[in-house]
């Protein structure tokens, strides 16, 4: 029985029929679906058509331009050309992300020993090998998808991606990738007027009675409309949004929307609040959108949740612990005109020579490589992706930050 499971013991790739870079590429694309960039949650950002060979990039940033009328002239005069003001250049460096999946002899023996002692309907060693390979590659795929979602959401919600001990505990720290959003576009609610008295655990009991959340939100939207932006998108973290909508002043405003027969008056606020408190989570977006004056379809609630591995403890007691964090900053609302807001700059990962088996992913922008150490009997898959979300319309992005320490 042992030989049945030990056959093909160290050769997951050969068991899967993957003997070349070509067959690995077909496996990545057709079986795992790793090359499907449409699955990436990068709302508003599109990949640059071409990847660079260097890590430096330059990009044109569109300034806030008001549409101008044609100029009235004498019938025999030449037309007056538009000014060229409206584009500035931004530059930076594309960061590198890597993931790795390793199986050594101990890992594989433990797995086989576990499945041998259970009834798995007489699965063959090849089927077990295929499961191992698929799950390992999917973990690498998921790692890059989460990294790109986190990067996108941090750059949009925080105006920068800052690598630190919290979001990159096992990698480089201290690097900051900033967007070019003007400080004048950021409205921070004064401490005395912040919506809640806590940054988290936001509910009716921690709500600040002196806050004006509805007025704060309307002020940003109306300021944008005065500048000519009529089709406005609003982004927020999903959980933070749900908590914000528990503020009694939001619930009161919603109650008036739900009961048009209630006359807007201080004497009716208690009734409106009671009605608004009955609204379920699935009703909040439509009510919120109607109150502030944007289409409900333009309210984008980001639900990303990313994990990191943190080494806790010292010496022989040290162990890796997985912790999660939300990808979009809490207590932050981002507003911008509907349409694309940026591009994803990428740098090609260098391919190895023909002695290695490798494949490309995300439209040939990323690389996954396989190595087998026959002496150590270790199988090693590692990947590389060099990419950065760069807002191309930062002057048209506006922010409302509802809580500060």
pLDDT digits (tens, 9 = 90+) for 370-389: 988 877 778 889 999 999 99
Token pair recorded at residue 98: 């890597």
Q: What is the DSSP letter of 121?
A: T
d(CA 405, CA 402): 10
Position 2 scores a pLDDT of 32
Residue 268 is predicted with a pLDDT of 94
| CA distances from residue 323 to 127, 253, 307, 310, 327 in whole angstroms, order as listed | 32, 37, 5, 7, 13
Q: What is the pLDDT of residues 251-294, one digit of tens each?
A: 999 999 999 999 999 999 999 999 999 999 999 999 999 999 99
Which DSSP category does 207 fall into?
B
Per-residue pLDDT at 5: 32
Give dist(CA 9, CA 82) in Å, integer.
70
Q: What is the pLDDT of residues 160-177, one digit of tens each?
A: 999 998 888 888 888 889
pLDDT digits (tens, 9 = 90+) for 102-145: 888 787 777 667 666 655 555 666 676 778 888 889 999 999 99
Q: Which helix (H) or strand (E) holds 45?
A: strand 45-47
Q: Closest by alpha carbon to 152, among 323, 333, 49, 304?
A: 304
CA distance 243 to 204: 9
pLDDT value of position 73: 59
> For the chain, what is the mean pLDDT?
85
Report CA-CA distances (Å) from 258 to 221, 287, 301: 22, 8, 22
Average pLDDT over every residue of 322-344: 95
Q: Where in the chain is the domain with CATH 3.15.30?
A: 2-65+87-180+341-398
What is the SS3 assignment for 309? Answer: strand
Whether 41 has a pLDDT exceeding 60, the answer reads yes
The single-letter DSSP state of residue 32 is: I
Determine the angle formed by the axes of helices 248-258 and 269-277, rounding to 10 degrees: 90
pLDDT at 283: 97
**Is 98's pLDDT higher than 50?**
yes
Percentage of residues in the chain with pLDDT exceeding 90? 52
pLDDT band at 367 (very low <50, low <70, confident <90, very high): very high
**What whole-number distance in Å separates Cα of residue 254 and Cα of residue 274?**
10
Query: Which range is most confident: 52-61, 72-81, 241-250, 366-375?
Result: 241-250
Specify the pLDDT at position 8: 44
Residue 312's pLDDT is what? 84
Strands (E), 148-247: 160-162, 176-178, 186-188, 232-237
Q: Where is pLDDT greater, at 18 or 75? A: 18
Q: Looking at residue 1, what is its pLDDT?
A: 31
- The CATH number given to 2-65+87-180+341-398 is 3.15.30
CB 399 within 8 A of CB 187: yes
> Can you give the pLDDT at residue 371?
87
Give dist(CA 232, CA 217) in Å, integer: 13
């Amino acid at each position: 029985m042992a030989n049945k499971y030990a056959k093909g013991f160290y050769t997951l790739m050969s068991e899967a029929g993957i003997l070349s870079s070509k067959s690995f590429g077909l496996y990545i694309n057709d079986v795992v679906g790793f090359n499907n960039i449409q699955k990436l949650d990068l709302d508003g950002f599109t990949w640059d058509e071409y990847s660079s060979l260097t890590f430096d990039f330059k990009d044109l940033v569109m300034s806030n331009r008001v549409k101008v009328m044609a100029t009235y002239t004498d019938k025999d005069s030449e037309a007056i050309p538009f000014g060229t003001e409206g584009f500035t250049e931004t530059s930076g460096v594309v960061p590198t992300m890597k993931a790795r999946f390793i199986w050594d002899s101990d890992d594989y023996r433990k797995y086989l020993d576990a499945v041998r002692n259970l009834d798995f309907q007489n699965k063959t060693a090849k089927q077990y090998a295929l499961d191992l390979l698929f799950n390992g590659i999917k973990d690498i795929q998921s790692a890059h998808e989460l990294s790109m979602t986190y990067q996108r959401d941090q750059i949009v919600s925080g105006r920068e991606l800052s690598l630190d001990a919290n979001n990159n505990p096992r990698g480089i720290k201290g690097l900051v990738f900033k967007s070019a959003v003007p400080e004048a576009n950021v409205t921070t609610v004064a401490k005395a007027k912040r919506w809640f008295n806590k940054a988290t655990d936001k509910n009716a009991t921690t709500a600040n009675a002196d806050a004006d959340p509805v007025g704060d939100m309307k002020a940003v939207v109306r300021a944008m409309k005065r500048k000519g932006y009529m089709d406005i998108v609003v982004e927020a973290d999903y959980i933070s949004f749900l908590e914000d909508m528990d503020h009694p002043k939001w619930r009161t405003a919603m109650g008036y929307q739900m009961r048009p027969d209630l006359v807007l008056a201080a004497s009716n606020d208690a009734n409106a609040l009671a009605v608004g408190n009955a609204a379920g989570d699935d009703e909040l977006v439509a009510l919120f959108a109607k109150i502030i004056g944007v289409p409900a379809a333009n309210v984008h609630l980001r639900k990303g949740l990313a994990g990191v591995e943190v080494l806790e403890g010292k010496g022989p007691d040290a162990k890796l612990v997985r912790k999660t964090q939300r990808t979009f900053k809490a207590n932050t609302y981002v507003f911008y005109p509907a349409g694309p807001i940026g591009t994803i700059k990428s740098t090609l990962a260098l391919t190895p020579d023909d002695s290695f088996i490798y494949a490309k992913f995300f439209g040939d922008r990323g690389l996954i490589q396989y190595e087998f150490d026959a002496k150590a009997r270790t199988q090693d898959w590692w990947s590389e992706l060099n990419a950065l979300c760069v807002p191309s319309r930062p002057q048209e992005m506006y922010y409302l930050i509802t809580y500060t320490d």
